[in-house]
């Protein structure tokens, strides 16, 4: 079983997000980056499938500038066998048609049985790359996977539907699956893993071309429409005012 | 037609988010002078077509095909692609449902046309069509513009438009057809199912204390439990708390969890991402405690406290006891 896992480096959930003066994007200098949350689950799922099968290969694939080698190394340290870095000068296109085409071109000769990716990135959040790749590469696709079972040339996926519903879908291989967070418990890299990662191969390649068919016109901080009563003061004052608000305004005490 | 709305079947009725995209189409159509049409599909989409025809759109296209009896990404993406090719609209509008997430990117790839997803607004000021989307889990917004020739695929976030505002009318229904083959469908689907709720019914709760990733670690969950107990409230949570195994999934509020509307929803260390907010924004009073004054939750909160939940919550519990 040969599995590619697409991982993206994105700002952490508590990172500051300074906006560039021309409002075209965030100022990358001020950002603390992490591996995209659902990609981390995708990587774990791939590693577990390989371990259960007792054979196979997990390849981490990422697109972006040099800074993304940090998440690539993290993937290798957790147990991926090798990596492909599609190297761009900037963060890459926001148009998933371009990104997915670049991934598809990079992987077309690799003959992966499975392509795993997170269901959406925590930065732009287009949520399309893995699904588009499946289409471009002639693979079956399923999104929002909450469990997987591999066997007999097939993958069974428990898809999350709306409002707490689920559905099992069976797909023939090769398949491209987008993974929802929460389906496993992602491991932390071991010290041995971190040391071993240094010897693993990272193939750096150029992205293929492609014109973006959508772009960001302007990035900005949203304006609040609701009047929020802010409860201020020292912690003790805040607590006192909060109890007062619950008693006299919300009337739940 | 210029604007094609793709409507989804939700247990025999049009999905609410489909009705919301009718409102978007009506706005776009009237501001730009464009014609509108709606697509319904299924093994037998007669009833859906009938429902769709009661809205103010120029026409309804109905596609009945046995291969569309149950949903598959292969079948639906191919059918929608073929209808788009036949009708050649400039805009194709969807509600950003889980089903649309699953197959619409495939339509985009088949046509090599952009899919602008999950928008919260649209504007046609000065003739320039701009869509607005949330980024970075609702912390920033971005105006997004399509380029090149249409059709442009565009989806809207839940509640970006209000279904109540869909203007009614009486549209004609036209029979459409697609050319599908059973060999195109590479997936097999089982019946949808719901998991045991585990005795947690948040939907009828009057008071809810809801805990997010900001609680820090599993060992801190009892702080929220004690506060809930002191208030006589139910305990709920955001997704990451469930993902991490700190609370069972029956406690999750949001698009993939329960939808609640208590008298008071007290959010502890929850950022206010849209998938959480759709499940609790109907609460009568939203009180948020978050250490980040810029957290999006404060945009929908009635009362806000900027501070550390680990400091405030124990004191609040004590004051209430
Ligand atoms: C298809 C899909 C479906 C989803 N379904 C759901 C769903 O049903 N429900 C759901 O909740 N999410 C859902 N999500 C996930 C959602 O997008 C967010 O990732 C999630 O809601 C974030 O949870 P959070 O606010 O607890 O965590 P975070 O976004 O990480 O926010 C943590 C917050 O805590 C604050 N904080 C940190 N430490 C402290 C402290 N000591 N004191 C006070 N504040 C602190 C931080 O400032 C931050 O605002 C879904 C996502 C997708 C893509």
Q: Which pLDDT band, with edges at 50, 70 and 90, does B200 fall under?
A: confident
Q: Which of residues 178-237 of A touch B (CB under 8 A)?
A: 180-182, 185, 211-222, 224-226, 228-232, 235-236
CA-CA distance, B40 to B46, in Å (whole number)? 9
* Mean pLDDT of the region B70-99: 97
Angle ∠(B7,B276,B133) on CA atoms, nearest 5:
60
Residue of B nearest to A41 (CA): B243
Query: Which positions in chain A touch B263 (Cβ < 8 Å)?
Result: 250, 252
Question: Domain residues of chain A, as ranges?
Answer: 2-205
Percent of chain B with pLDDT over 90: 96
* Mean pLDDT of the region B245-263: 94
From B213, B221, B205, select the one nearest B239 (Cα to Cα): B213
pTM of the model: 0.95
* Mean pLDDT of the region B299-311: 97
Query: Is the previous residue joined to B151 through a cis bond, with omega within 30 degrees of 0?
Result: yes
B269 lines ligand 1 (CB under 6 A): yes
Query: Residue A210: its pLDDT value, please?
Result: 86
Q: Which pLDDT band, with edges at 50, 70 and 90, does B122 fall under?
A: very high
* Mean pLDDT of the region B128-132: 96
Query: Residue B195: its pLDDT value, please?
Result: 81
Query: Which positions in chain B touch A124 (Cβ < 8 Å)?
Result: 135, 142
Torsion sign over Cα B167, B170, B171, B175? positive
Query: Residue A125: its pLDDT value, please?
Result: 96
Query: Which positions in chain A touch B259 (Cβ < 8 Å)?
Result: 163
Report the topology of domain A2-205.
Answer: Rossmann fold (3.40.50)
User: Each residue of A204-245: pLDDT tens digit?
Assistant: 999 998 899 999 999 999 987 788 999 999 999 999 999 999
Residue to test with chain A: of B95, B107, B115, B311, most A Cβ within 10 A: B115
Region of A109 (left: φ > 0; alpha: ψ -120 to 50; beta: rest) is: alpha
Q: Is the pLDDT of residue A147 over 80?
A: yes
Q: Is the pLDDT of residue B196 over 80?
A: no
* Mean pLDDT of the region A150-172: 94
Q: Please report where in the chains the tokens 């050319």 appear, as a residue.
A: B179
Domains, chain B, in order of start with CATH, read: 3-184 (3.40.50.620), 202-320 (3.40.50.1220)
User: Each residue of B262-303: pLDDT tens digit?
Assistant: 999 999 999 999 999 999 999 999 999 999 999 999 999 999
Query: Residue B254: its pLDDT value, please?
Result: 95
Q: Is the pLDDT of residue B143 over 80?
A: yes
From B269, B242, B270, select the one nearest B256 (Cα to Cα): B242
Q: Check B186 against A231: CB less than 8 A apart.
A: no
Q: If you measure from the C-alpha of residue A55 to the centroid of ligand 1, how many angstroms do you get, rounded to a whole number? A: 36
Is B86:B176 a contact under the CB 8 Å cutoff? yes
User: Each residue of A114-125: pLDDT tens digit?
Assistant: 999 999 999 999
Which DSSP symbol is given to B87? Answer: H
Is B295:B271 a contact under the CB 8 Å cutoff? yes
Question: CA torsion B47→B3→A131→B62, rounded to 10°?
Answer: 20
Q: Is the pLDDT of residue A36 over 90?
A: yes
Query: Residue A150: its pLDDT value, please?
Result: 96
* Mean pLDDT of the region B186-208: 87
Is A203:A63 a contact under the CB 8 Å cutoff? no
Percent of chain B with pLDDT over 70: 99
Mean of the per-residue pLDDT values of chain A: 95
* Mean pLDDT of the region B68-90: 97
Q: What is the DSSP string of A85-115?
A: EEE-SSS--S-HHHHHHHHHHHHTTT--SEE
Q: What is the DSSP string of A175-196?
A: EEEEE-TTSS-PPPPPHHHHHH
Q: If you measure from the C-alpha of residue B4 to the centroid of ligand 1, how many angstroms do you get, rounded to a whole number? A: 34
* Mean pLDDT of the region B183-210: 89
Whether chain B has a CB inside 8 Å of the CB on A95: the answer is yes
Query: Residue A61: its pLDDT value, please?
Result: 98
Query: Residue B197: its pLDDT value, please?
Result: 66
Q: Is the pLDDT of residue A169 over 80?
A: yes
Query: Residue B268: its pLDDT value, please?
Result: 98
- Strand locations in B22-110 (E): 36-42, 59-64, 91-95
Query: Residue B214: its pLDDT value, please?
Result: 97
Query: Residue A223: its pLDDT value, please?
Result: 85
Bridge partners (DSSP) of residue B42 are B64
Is A49:A148 a contact under the CB 8 Å cutoff? yes
Q: Is the pLDDT of residue A22 over 80?
A: yes
Q: Which pLDDT band, with edges at 50, 70 and 90, does A23 fall under?
A: very high
* Mean pLDDT of the region A156-183: 95
């Amino acid at each position: 079983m040969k599995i590619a896992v697409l991982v993206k480096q994105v700002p952490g959930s508590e990172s500051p997000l300074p906006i560039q003066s021309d409002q075209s994007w965030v100022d990358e200098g001020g950002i603390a980056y992490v591996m995209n949350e659902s990609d981390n689950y995708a990587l774990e799922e791939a590693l577990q499938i390989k371990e259960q099968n007792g054979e196979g290969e997990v390849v981490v694939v990422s697109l972006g500038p040099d800074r993304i080698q940090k998440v690539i190394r993290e993937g290798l340290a957790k147990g991926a066998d090798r990596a492909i870095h599609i190297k761009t000068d900037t963060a890459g296109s926001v148009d998933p048609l371009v990104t997915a085409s670049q991934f598809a071109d990079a992987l077309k000769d690799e003959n992966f049985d499975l392509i795993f990716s997170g269901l959406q990135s925590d930065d732009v959040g287009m949520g399309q790359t893995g699904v588009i790749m499946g289409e471009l590469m002639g693979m079956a696709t399923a999104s929002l996977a909450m469990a997987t079972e591999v066997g007999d040339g097939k993958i069974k996926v428990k898809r999350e539907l709306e409002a707490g519903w689920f559905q099992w879908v069976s797909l023939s291989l090769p398949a491209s699956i987008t993974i929802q967070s929460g389906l496993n418990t992602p491991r932390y890299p071991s010290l041995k893993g971190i040391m071993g990662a240094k010897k693993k191969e990272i193939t750096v390649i150029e992205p293929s071309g492609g014109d973006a068919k959508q772009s960001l016109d302007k990035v900005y901080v949203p304006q609040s429409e609701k009047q929020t009563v802010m409860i201020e003061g020292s912690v003790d004052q805040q607590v006192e005012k909060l109890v007062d608000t619950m008693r006299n305004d919300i009337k739940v005490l | 037609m210029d604007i094609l709305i793709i409507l989804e079947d939700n247990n025999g009725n049009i999905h609410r988010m489909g009705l919301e995209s009718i409102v978007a189409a009506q706005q776009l159509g009237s501001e730009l002078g464009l014609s509108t049409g709606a697509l319904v599909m299924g093994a037998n989409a007669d009833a859906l077509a009938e429902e769709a025809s009661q809205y103010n759109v120029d026409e309804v296209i109905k596609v009945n095909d046995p291969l569309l009896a149950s949903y598959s990404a292969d079948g639906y993406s191919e059918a929608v692609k073929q209808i788009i090719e036949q009708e050649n609209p400039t805009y194709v509008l969807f509600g950003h449902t889980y089903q649309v997430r699953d197959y619409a990117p495939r339509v985009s790839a088949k046509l090599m046309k952009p899919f602008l997803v999950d928008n919260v607004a649209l504007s046609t000021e000065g003739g320039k069509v701009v869509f607005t989307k949330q980024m970075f889990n609702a912390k920033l917004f971005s105006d997004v513009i399509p380029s090149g020739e249409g059709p442009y695929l565009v989806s809207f976030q839940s509640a970006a438009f209000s279904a109540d505002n869909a203007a009614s009318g009486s549209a004609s229904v036209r029979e459409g057809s697609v050319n599908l083959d059973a060999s195109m469908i590479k997936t097999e689907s089982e019946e949808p199912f719901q998991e045991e709720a585990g005795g947690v019914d948040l939907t009828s709760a009057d008071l809810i204390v809801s805990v997010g990733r900001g609680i820090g670690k599993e060992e801190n969950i009892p702080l929220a439990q004690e506060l809930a107990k002191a208030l006589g409230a139910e305990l709920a949570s955001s997704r990451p708390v469930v993902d991490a195994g700190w609370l069972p999934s029956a406690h999750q509020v949001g698009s993939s969890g329960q939808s609640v509307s208590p008298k008071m929803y007290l959010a502890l260390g929850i950022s206010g991402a849209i998938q959480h907010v759709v499940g609790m924004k109907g609460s009568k009073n939203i009180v948020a405690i978050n250490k980040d004054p810029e957290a999006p939750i404060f945009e929908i909160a009635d009362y806000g406290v900027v501070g550390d939940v680990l400091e405030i919550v124990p004191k609040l519990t004590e004051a209430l006891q």
